[in-house]
Structures are given as structure tokens and as C-alpha cells.
Copies of this chain bind each other. A is one copy, B any other.
Amino acid sequence: MADTSTRTVERALLLLGTVCDRGSVTLADAARDAGLSASTALRLLRTLEGTGFVRRDDNGYRPGMRVVQLGAQALSHESLVSLAEEALERLVDSTGESAYLNVPSHDGHGIYLSVREGTHSVRHTSWVGRSIPLEGSAAGAVLRGRTAEDGFVVVSNGIEPDVTAIAAPVISGGHVVAALSVVVPSYRITDDGARRIGRQVAAEAAGILTPPPTNTPPTNESTSPGAQA
């Protein structure tokens, strides 16, 4: 894994990241943030501008339309979100709580790929694209393959205070490719309730890539143990 990467491009993408993070940023800020000299940052931002990835207004640089365009395209090509749609909906229907689909991202993080809001007036809220640490969160534990025997993970008051997260793995080819999760305000749930929802989430997660109708012959490809009961 020698240095097969181009510094210029890395820097430009870094810059793009800070622009999107901040929503609106001045040249000097962006340069500082990315650790670049002003002239370099200017040149790269201009390139990004010329390709529509950022745009300028009087206040500085802002995410360009190309970013939302590519993002939307990418999402639409993500078959997981359509496959998980029904499962998310069933979870919301039967629990009234917010349900999510999380996938691993490039750095040691996960992100929310799909969101279905709960029906309770007090409910957990998140959004597509939001970043989630892999440690200290239920979905993160699942994504790292740390699922317990019973097929789901419960984390109370972890990263986010006052909420209990319940997650289960979506498995494909022996690998965890996503986490299905339900997040509920802690005051509203008991240990038993969490287990009940846990079993439900695990069942839905298992069903996402193995639709019930077909009777798949036993194809055994398990790298990691516990390919589900």
C-alpha cells in the first residue's frame, strides 16, 4: 500500500469536506481548516467551483449543486435503502419509535443511510448522512461485528444521552453490511421492552436480504460465526 494516492486530489476533497461541513466558509477559514496555504486553497477551491462542486456567494464558498446531484444519484443506486424500506416502516408501525438504517463509511464511522421517523410526539430524530461513531453506539457495535448471541445490541445512554438504541446486523455473504436500528427515549422503555424490540429488529434485519417467499437452499458461506439462527 505504497503512496498510491495523489496529494492534490486529497487536498481538494478535504477542502470540499470542510465546505460541506460548514455550509458556508471563507477562503481563509477553509485554508486554515485544511492546513493549506491560502494560494493553494484558492486554486483548489476554484477548481471545485469550476466543476460545480462548490459555488461562491458574497459570504464565501458553499456546497455546489453537483454535490447534491451526485449525492442523490448515489442514494438512488443504493439498493439497500429500497430493500430496507418496508422493514423500517414495519418497525415504526409496531413500535412508534424512529427506525434507521446505518452503514459503515470510510473512516472509522458509520452514517445514517435511511431514516423513518417515529410517531410518538417525543421521539429520537436524525437525518440521512449524519455521522455516527462506531464505538459507544449500538449500530456501531453491530457494524463492527460485536453482536451478541441473541442477534441484537442494546445501548442505553451511550453516545447520545437519554436514549436507548437497539440495533441488529444486516448480513450478506458472511459480512455485516448494515445495521438496522430503533432508537427510543430511555424513560419510555424497560429492559424487557428493549429485548422485545431487539428480537423484532433482528428478525427484520435478517429478512432484508432474504425475502421470506423463496426457500433458499442452504448456502453456507460463513466467515464469522453466528450467521444467524
Interface residues of A in 55-83 (CB under 8 A from B): 55, 58-59, 62-78
Instruction: Annotate A7-39 by CB proximity to B: 1 below 8 A, 0 otherwise.
Output: 011101110110011011000000000000000
A70 surroundings in chain B (CB, below 8 A): 16-17, 20, 63, 67, 71, 129
CA gap between A10 and B50 in the complex, in Å: 9
Q: Which residues of B contact A50 (CB under 8 A)?
A: 5, 10, 106
Among A149-157, A179-187, A195-203, A219-227, the stretch in contact with B = A219-227
> Once bound together, how far apart are the Cα atoms of A197 and B97, in whole Å?
40
A105→B69 contact, CB < 8 A: yes
- Residue in chain B with minimal CB distance to A104: B65
For chain A, which range describes its interface: under 10, 10 to 19, 20 to 34, or 35 or more residues?
Answer: 35 or more
Q: Assess whether A95 is interfacial by the CB under 8 Å rule.
A: no
- Interface CB pairs A-B, < 8 A, 29: A5-B50, A6-B12, A9-B9, A12-B12, A12-B13, A13-B51, A14-B51, A16-B70, A21-B73, A23-B222, A50-B106, A51-B106, A58-B218, A63-B74, A63-B77, A63-B78, A64-B105, A65-B103, A65-B104, A65-B105, A68-B78, A68-B129, A69-B105, A69-B129, A69-B131, A71-B129, A72-B127, A72-B129, A130-B225
